Amino acid sequence: MKTFILGKRQVFIGMLYSYCMFIFIGIHASPSYTIHTESLTTSNGLSNNTVRHIYQDSKGFIWFSTLNGLNRYDGNTFRTFLPDSIGELPSLADGRVKSVCEDNHGFLWISTSIDRFSCYDLKRDCFVDYTGCEAFKEQYAYITLLSDAVWLWGRGKGCRRVCYKNDRFYSDVFCLENGTLDTNAVSFIEQDSLGRVWIGTQEGLYVWQNKVLKKNGLFTQFRADTLLFRVCLFHYCQR
């Protein structure tokens, strides 16, 4: 029996040939795809051609945030939501919609240009009072979605923690007026890996833990509204 010993060059050429054949076969064996595109405008039912944000909810509907209303698209037709002219019941806060996001309970949170949020119940197909106390006209510019709560906040209104339990909303307000914060200027709200919620303000840092809000003494000498501060907080939370 003869034994053949291949040189390194022969082995390399053989491997290269096998690799090229694998790529060639893979290209010709893969199925071909055709991408179809469609332009959606006011002629198709969109309320305004200026679209600022597009979002798909858990039911598959596509939501278009425009300068003249919120549009829901089911793949065939549009449904347009506009502010209620009377304004006594929960509705779209303003026709100039900025963005849409969904929480863990199936509620859409809609941000508008007047720094007011609207809340839409996907199950009941209607707008709802997310505060639980008819304070849905309060102004908040930003939102932080967490697993157990929704936080609304801004640089002049403090913040509000919203929870949904037993088929109803509950909310708590933290602000200068009720003594829970030293300032209404909230700069960020973030949650760390331990579940603690950190509230950065221009008068220091607060932490929400075990349903209690406390001011964190380690950072009282800093303005908690800078990028450097947030980097320091990140390293502190990793300890």
> Are residues 150 and 124 part of one domain?
no
> Are residues 116 and 69 part of one domain?
yes
For 156, how many CA atoms within 13 A lie in the half-sphere containing its CB?
Answer: 5
> Are residues 138 and 67 part of one domain?
no
> Are residues 231 and 194 part of one domain?
yes
110 in Cβ contact with 119 (< 8 Å): yes
> Are residues 172 and 98 part of one domain?
no
In the listed set 128, 158, 186, which residue is the last one of a domain according to the structure? Answer: 128
pLDDT in tens, 27-81: 555 566 788 888 999 999 999 999 999 999 999 999 999 999 999 999 999 999 9
Per-residue confidence band for 136, with pLDDT thresholds at 50, 70 and 90: confident
In a domain, 30, yes or no: no
What three-state secondary structure class fits 6?
coil
> Are residues 222 and 142 part of one domain?
yes
In the listed set 95, 128, 161, which residue is the last one of a domain according to the structure? Answer: 128
> Are residues 103 and 67 part of one domain?
yes
In a domain, 139, yes or no: yes
Domain count, the chain: 2
> Are residues 55 and 70 part of one domain?
yes
For CA atoms 118, 176, 179, 220, give the dihedral sign. Answer: positive
Q: Which domain holds residue 160?
A: 132-239
67 in Cβ contact with 45 (< 8 Å): no
CATH code for position 105: 2.40.10
> Are residues 227 and 137 part of one domain?
yes
Q: CA dihedral defined by 175, 180, 182, 185, rounded to 10 degrees?
A: -30
pLDDT of 33 reads 73
pLDDT of 157 reads 87
pLDDT of 5 reads 42
pLDDT of 23 reads 55
d(CA 65, CA 96): 8
pLDDT of 86 reads 72
In a domain, 192, yes or no: yes
In the listed set 100, 128, 156, which residue is the last one of a domain according to the structure? Answer: 128
pLDDT in tens, 94-134: 999 999 999 999 999 999 999 999 999 999 999 999 998 88
Residue 16, pLDDT > 90, answer no
Q: What is the mean pLDDT of residues 230-236?
A: 55
Residue 21, pLDDT > 50, answer yes
In a domain, 40, yes or no: no
pLDDT in tens, 171-230: 999 999 999 999 999 989 999 888 999 998 888 889 999 899 998 766 554 555 554 455
How crowded is residue 97: how many other Cβ atoms within 10 Å of its Cβ?
28
> Are residues 151 and 59 part of one domain?
no
> Are residues 189 and 97 part of one domain?
no
In a domain, 29, yes or no: no
In a domain, 218, yes or no: yes
Q: Which residues contact 132 (CB under 8 A, 6 or more apart)?
A: 168, 169, 170, 171
> Are residues 220 and 143 part of one domain?
yes
Is the model more confident about 77 or about 19? 77
In a domain, 171, yes or no: yes
pLDDT of 225 reads 53
In a domain, 18, yes or no: no
R_g of the chain computed on alpha carbons: 27
